[in-house]
Amino acid sequence: MRQYICDNWQFMPEFDEKMLTAEKISDAKEVKIPHSVVDMPYNCFDESIYQMVSGYRRILNVDEKYKGKVILLTFDAVAHHADVYLNGEHIGAHNTGYTAFSIDISDKVRFGEDNVLTVKADSRESLNTPPFGFVIDYMTYGGIYRDVYLDIRQKEYIADIYVHPEVTFDGSLIKAAAVSDITLSDPAVARRDDIVIRQTLTDRKTGENRVLGEVSAKAGNSVSFDAGDIELWSPDEPYMYDLKTELVLSGEVCDTVITGTAFRRMRFNKDGFYLNGKKFWIRGLDRHQCYPYVGYAMPKSMQVMDVKVLKYELGLNAVRTSHYPNSHYFLDACDEMGLLVFTEIPGWQHIGNDEWKEQAVTNVREMILQYRNHPSIILWGVRINESQDDDEFYTRTNTVAHELDPYRQTGGVRYLKKSSLLEDVYTFNDFTHDGTAPGCQHKKDVTPDMEKGYLISEYGGHMYPTKAYDDEEHRLEHALRHARVLNAVAGEEGIAGSFGWVMADYNTHRDFGSGDRICYHGVLDMYRNPKQAAFVYSSCQDETPVLEVSSSMDIGEHPGGNNGKIYIYTNAESVRMYKNGKLLKEYTRNDSEFKNLKSGPIRVDDFVGNAVHESGLYSDKQADLVKYGLNANNVYGMNNLPLKAKLAFLKATVMYHMSFSDMADAYGKFIGDWGGEATVYKFEAIKNGKVVKTLIKGIMESVHLSAVADHTLLKEDHTYDVAAIRLQAHDQNENIVSYFQEPVEIVTEGPIEIIGPEITVLRGGMGGTYVRTTGKDCEIEVVPEGLNKLLIRAK
Ligand code: GAL
């Protein structure tokens, strides 16, 4: 039985010895877990503000009736060193902030009485543990930021279970076995005659239960049962099962563990990644687990939201949890929704002394023991991200990983070429593409071993930081760089896929970012609003129609006053573009220059359509020339015409005696429209002959505030719930108004609290806020009141 103890904690930013006792402390603050040691602004703050030795205290009363049972106290994560005390006695400690730890308090706790549970939490970056020791490109925050709970077990219990189902293919026949390695709390118990392990498999979708069988625990700690007919798991069909394992002693069930599991086969081979026997292209982004204002401290709903964003909004099939294991809520959602995960030990470029390395090896052990049941995990990262070679150290991390999980391969992220490859897969940060250089390097130029798997673990990022409020051409180039890398990777032999840097913008240390402690590397902003680059990814999926255009169609946004390059992002079969109701052109997927992508961005090259030809002013040949010249002028402007366009103008002058003013007139007539009727462009995305999405780009006439909550029914489960509200300024056609950067006052009614400031601003026409429950479930309604006010009503 599990009891969460996330409420009723007291917190002091500076640890006080009084916290070891029940003595009243007037300035201690009542808090709930997940908790951040400090509330932070959006940006422009120093990393020193969360570095402290703080104190948490809670009265713990364990019912008399549990006397004689095993009471395990677990902290899912404390950043970054925890000392735990019960009634003033030091009962345990844990290093590093990204894995869980448990303490058996059965012999320490006074049953039926008030016990004082205290945690001294050290979030100083001077700790001699990963990721600390040198610079780090992300903030590390502080606090008890994941759940705390008690597990109450019988004396004989299942201390650990590793479920690793086996799948074999015999032609079209799939044979599946549920295989588990089980460790009992007391090895002596396993030797008894009357002890049996029973397993039942439940299909999560249908609810159907299948008793797999019973086996004497004496048979050893590996248990295997034929699983019968099963459905395979993949990102397209993430078919999950629950395996119930019961420990039966003299006919009585004395412990039950339910493990979510799935049947799938996966392998990185030299020519790519194989899932269930078929080659599978990994398309993912890296993710940091941080949020504005509270850093790491967000409950389940926000972890799940990120998976939804990655999977459904961005259409990805994979994520790398850079640079540390993420919350189990995140991983559970990856299992459930079908997102492949590359997870890795904490660390960033720096390798410390022996003690530090010992801790890193412990981190490998903890990561694998705690996460290996997640079917979505495809690879363990067992090197410190982007560190130098250290064969002795990395032989140890690889050995531990292979011992604890012989069924998964290892990788280790590096920026080094031909570095010492002790892992199974060469995972390389390929930042080659700088706008002009190729999208990626060839596998043979990077790995020292062509026989092993190869994966790109990062690209993009610092090569082109992009703010939501950068000018349009910058935001477009950011998107195109992502498209170029994806396109290049897809065209390479032997690359299993890639992860782009990074899902969302993140707060960072002084050595990185744009001077305001933000790395603007995200395809999303910090609130998870999309920048243009996001549409490159969302266009790769087929579920939801995507139709976006890179430009607001305002010529004044571009140097020289022309339209500049314009791209369509879509997953439709074709897109029709109209100007003032007249069809200019229907673009198809073949029009994309990104030939290796199923739905790459498509360049708009016609703003004229048939208008020139139909005008009756020119012969057909002359009209061809005029149309070509006008389109070129529209993109590049007269001063920057490419040679081919200059020649066209020359031809028009020589052959058709057109003067500059004739051309200028034609421009005004067919493209310019200054002072005339406002130009409205309409785009229609077509699939199976039907219009699936329409987009209208015209002059902005009015702006309104759009506010969308990720979920509106907030539930206090074992702690508070949080809803994310994404704010955007939209014009009358629901296009984001990129340069609307105004304040929005957030007002609440009912049992709800704002996380962060009550007045926020839109940046690049986008922003957000978060609200949390205050002790009870509620339903929220988000009501924009004009442009500068958002009412959040909770009932
Ligand atoms: C990589 C690093 C990431 C991030 C990225 C920025 O070198 O692994 O953590 O800093 O650069 O592009």
Neighbours of 406 (CB within 10 A): 8
Angle between helices 300-308 and 328-337 (to 10 degrees): 40
Q: What is the Å distance from ligand 1's center to 590 Cα?
A: 34
Say whether 51 sits in a helix, a strand or coil. Answer: coil
Question: Beta strand pairing status for 690-697 and 582-588?
Answer: unpaired
Alpha carbon 781 to its chain's center: 26
Work out the angle at residue 534's Cα, subtended by the Cα atoms of residues 529 and 538, and round it to the nearest 5 degrees.
Answer: 115
Q: Which two tokens stand for residue 637?
A: 């402007």
- Nearest CA owner, ligand 1 atom 10: 137
- Nearest CA owner, ligand 1 atom 3: 137
Is 386 among the catalytic positions?
A: yes
β-pair partners for 549: 568
pLDDT score of 186: 87
**Short-list 504, 611, 512, 632, CA closest to 563:** 632
Query: Which burial class, exposed, middle or buried, applies to 436 when counting CB atoms under 10 A from its CB (0-12, 13-18, 19+)?
Result: exposed
Neighbours of 656 (CB within 10 A): 14
Position 268, amino acid:
F
Say whether 437 sits in a helix, a strand or coil. Answer: coil
Residue 712 · residue 723 · CB < 8 Å: yes
pLDDT score of 12: 98
CA–CA gap between residue 693 and residue 680 (Å, rounded): 17
Location of structure tokens 């492949």: 340
Q: Is the CB of 537 under 6 A from ligand 1?
A: no
Block mean pLDDT (10 aa), the chain, length 795: 97 98 97 98 98 98 97 98 98 98 98 98 98 98 98 95 96 93 88 91 97 84 94 98 96 96 98 97 98 98 98 98 98 98 98 98 98 98 98 98 98 98 98 98 98 98 98 98 98 97 98 97 98 97 95 91 92 97 96 97 96 94 94 87 90 92 88 76 97 97 98 96 98 98 98 98 98 97 97 98
Residue 409, CB half-sphere, CA atoms under 13 Å: how many? 24
Q: What is the Å distance from ligand 1's center to 3 Cα?
A: 39
Q: What is the Å distance from ligand 1's center to 462 Cα?
A: 7
Position 283, amino acid:
R
β-pair partners for 682: 578, 696
Angle between helices 620-636 and 660-667 (to 10 degrees): 80
Straight-line distance from the first to the last Cα atom of the chain, in angstroms, rounded to the nearest whole number: 32
Say whether 384 sits in a helix, a strand or coil. Answer: coil
Q: Is the CB of 122 under 6 A from ligand 1?
A: no
Q: Considering only CA atoms, give the Rg of the chain.
A: 29
Q: Is the CB of 349 under 6 A from ligand 1?
A: no
Ligand 1 pocket mutation pick from 286, 462, 517 by most atoms within 8 angstroms of CB: 462
CA–CA gap between residue 512 and residue 507 (Å, rounded): 9
Is 458 among the catalytic positions?
A: yes
Q: What is the Å distance from ligand 1's center to 84 Cα?
A: 34
Q: Which two tokens stand for residue 494?
A: 């032997």
pLDDT score of 677: 73
pLDDT score of 459: 98
Length of the chain equals 795
**Active-site residue (options: 47, 366, 458, 492):** 458
Neighbours of 741 (CB within 10 A): 16
Position 380, amino acid:
W
* Residue 481: C-alpha distances to residues 258, 436, 616 (Å): 44, 9, 42
> What DSSP element (H or E) covers 121?
strand 115-122
Dihedral-angle region of residue 627 (phi above 0 means left; psi in -120 to 50 means alpha; beta otherwise): alpha
pLDDT score of 496: 98
Q: How would DSSP label each residue in 178-244?
A: EEEEEEES-TTGGG-TTEEEEEEEEETTT--EEEEEEEEGGG-SEEEEE--S-PBP-SSS---EEEE
Work out the angle at residue 88's Cα, subtended by the Cα atoms of residues 87 and 94, and round it to the nearest 5 degrees.
Answer: 105
> What DSSP element (H or E) covers 75?
strand 70-75
Q: Which two tokens stand for residue 262?
A: 């799935």
Position 223, amino acid:
V
Work out the angle at residue 586's Cα, subtended by the Cα atoms of residues 580 and 588, and round it to the nearest 5 degrees.
Answer: 150
Phi, psi dihedrals of residue 459, rounded to the nearest 5°: -155, 165
Phi, psi dihedrals of residue 160, rounded to the nearest 5°: -155, 145
Ligand 1 pocket mutation pick from 290, 501, 512 by most atoms within 8 angstroms of CB: 501
CA–CA gap between residue 306 and residue 266 (Å, rounded): 24
- Nearest CA owner, ligand 1 atom 5: 461
**Short-list 73, 53, 58, CA closest to 143:** 53
Neighbours of 678 (CB within 10 A): 10
Dihedral-angle region of residue 392 (phi above 0 means left; psi in -120 to 50 means alpha; beta otherwise): alpha
CA–CA gap between residue 341 and residue 335 (Å, rounded): 9
Q: Which two tokens stand for residue 144?
A: 């008890």
pLDDT score of 675: 64
pLDDT score of 673: 65
Q: What is the Å distance from ligand 1's center to 598 Cα?
A: 28
Q: Measured from the CA of 461, which atom of ligand 1 is nearest?
A: 12
Q: What is the Å distance from ligand 1's center to 471 Cα?
A: 24
CA–CA gap between residue 558 and residue 637 (Å, rounded): 10
Instruction: Examine residue 164 and say whether the peptide bond preceding it is cis (omega within 30 degrees of 0).
Output: no
Looking at residue 17, the DSSP 8-state letter turns out to be G
Q: Which two tokens stand for residue 341?
A: 């995960």
Which strands sit side by side in the sheet containing 278-280, from one edge to the other? Answer: 266-269, 272-275, 278-280
CA–CA gap between residue 417 and residue 409 (Å, rounded): 20
pLDDT score of 560: 83
Neighbours of 232 (CB within 10 A): 18
Position 36, amino acid:
S
CA–CA gap between residue 773 and residue 794 (Å, rounded): 9
CA–CA gap between residue 311 and residue 232 (Å, rounded): 19
Phi, psi dihedrals of residue 589, rounded to the nearest 5°: -60, -30
CA–CA gap between residue 578 and residue 581 (Å, rounded): 6
CA–CA gap between residue 501 and residue 480 (Å, rounded): 14
β-pair partners for 628: none
Beta-carbon contacts of residue 255 (< 8 Å; ≥ 6 apart):
153, 154, 156, 157, 158, 246, 247
pLDDT score of 689: 96
Position 559, amino acid:
P
Residue 2, CB half-sphere, CA atoms under 13 Å: how many? 12
β-pair partners for 345: none
> What DSSP element (H or E) covers 632?
helix 620-636
Which strands sit side by side in the sheet containing 148-153, from one edge to the other? Answer: 2-4, 148-153, 70-75, 101-104
Say whether 715 sits in a helix, a strand or coil. Answer: coil
Work out the angle at residue 312's Cα, subtended by the Cα atoms of residues 285 and 97, and round it to the nearest 5 degrees.
Answer: 50
Neighbours of 77 (CB within 10 A): 29
pLDDT score of 190: 76
Q: Is the CB of 458 under 6 A from ligand 1?
A: yes
CA–CA gap between residue 602 and residue 689 (Å, rounded): 19
Q: Is the CB of 461 under 6 A from ligand 1?
A: yes
**Active-site residue (options: 344, 386, 423, 716):** 386
Q: What is the Å distance from ligand 1's center to 514 Cα?
A: 14
